[in-house]
Copies of this chain bind each other. A is one copy, B any other.
Amino acid sequence: MKIALIGAGNVATHLGKVLKEKGYEVCQVYSRTEQSAAALGTLLDCAYTTSLEDVTAEAELYIVSVKDAVLQDLIPVLVKRNPQALFVHTAGSMPQSVWEGHAVRYGVLYPMQTFSKQRPVDFAEVPFFVEACMADDLHLLKELASTLSPKVYEATSEQRRYLHIAAVFACNFTNHMYAVCAHLLSAQHLPFEAMLPLIDETARKVHHLSPVEAQTGPACRYDVNVIERHLEMLASEPELAAMYEQISKNIHNYTISKNQKP
């Protein structure tokens, strides 16, 4: 299957690599900037362009991985290049309906994972959520995703919207808690590495316990002495103090709800 990649960011890069590895023909890459387009084109050994009007008319599948704000403007121009082809985007938060009125065959291929260019991705650990407006194309997308990962699910646009916001909490916000941790330690010249066993165990625990059951620490047991001392330590960084207080209160509320359950 001939595939064109629209976008050359983290998702497009990792998808492009794995598609090529699995024997698909990535025939062209589009990106707004010459630098990104050339980098991914070179990596995948294929043609590239920075002009939407020059996107190939030869692909059977166009995979669009661009910022949400860009997607809506790009769609009408892109679809005209090959109106009978299948078009998908990879965005968790965008409904399938963005394609409506422009493409005939369309859908979504959402890989729910955190992609960084500096880090290889094990696609066996990437759940794919697929959606398509036609049964044949849904089947085609499921087949394609199944060659990349054993974890392929159907999800409606509404479900995917919730998967995406949930993923922001579980991944981006979690990672930010690590970032604050690293920031607090570096001010005291303490190594972040010492935290890795704790970070790993925190992730491992929710394979076996629900997150509310797994919770420990001062907020959960509502140890006001500790919470107040911590807020004093954060006094010079009011944003962090406010975040600490808010998350602690929310943890306490969740703990109360859990304990009130029969």
**Inter-chain contacts of A114 with B (CB < 8 A):** 198, 201-202, 205, 214, 216-217
Quick check: B188 and A159 within 8 Å, CB to CB?
Answer: yes
Interface string of A207-249 (1 = CB under 8 A from B): 1111111111111110111100110011000011011101101
Quick check: B184 and A165 within 8 Å, CB to CB?
Answer: yes
Which of A202, A215, A223 has its CB near the most chain B CB atoms (within 10 A)?
A202
CB distance from A199 to the nearest CB of B (A): 5
Stoichiometry, copies per complex: 2
Q: Which of A37-45, A48-56, A118-126, A132-140 contacts B (4 or more CB under 8 A)?
A: A118-126
**Inter-chain contacts of A69 with B (CB < 8 A):** 223-225
Interface size (A, Cβ < 8 Å)? 94
User: Is the CB of A180 closer than 8 A to any CB of chain B?
Assistant: yes
Quick check: B250 and A113 within 8 Å, CB to CB?
Answer: no
Which of A196, A203, A213 has its CB near the most chain B CB atoms (within 10 A)?
A203
User: Is the CB of A177 closer than 8 A to any CB of chain B?
Assistant: yes
Asked, given contacts A163-B185, A172-B216, whether A225 binds B68 with beta carbons under 8 Å apart, the answer is yes
Quick check: B211 and A182 within 8 Å, CB to CB?
Answer: yes
Q: Which residue of B lies closest to A191 (CB)?
A: B153
A177 contacts which of B125, B170, B195, B242 (Cβ < 8 Å)?
B170
A112 contacts which of B151, B166, B198, B230 (Cβ < 8 Å)?
B198
A125 contacts which of B175, B190, B197, B216 (Cβ < 8 Å)?
B197
Task: Give Cα A176–Cα B210 distance, bound, in whole angstroms.
Answer: 11
User: Is the CB of A82 closer than 8 A to any CB of chain B?
Assistant: no
**Inter-chain contacts of A234 with B (CB < 8 A):** 165
Task: Give Cα A244–Cα B167 distance, bound, in whole angstroms.
Answer: 12
Quick check: A218 and B168 within 8 Å, CB to CB?
Answer: yes
Q: Which residue of B lies closest to A161 (CB)?
A: B233
User: Is the CB of A1 closer than 8 A to any CB of chain B?
Assistant: no
A167 contacts which of B181, B200, B206 (Cβ < 8 Å)?
B181
28 examples of A-B residue contacts, CB within 8 angstroms: A67-B223, A69-B223, A93-B226, A112-B195, A112-B198, A114-B205, A114-B217, A116-B209, A118-B208, A125-B197, A125-B201, A127-B194, A151-B194, A162-B233, A166-B182, A170-B181, A171-B217, A172-B215, A172-B219, A173-B247, A175-B202, A176-B219, A176-B247, A176-B250, A196-B206, A199-B206, A203-B203, A243-B243
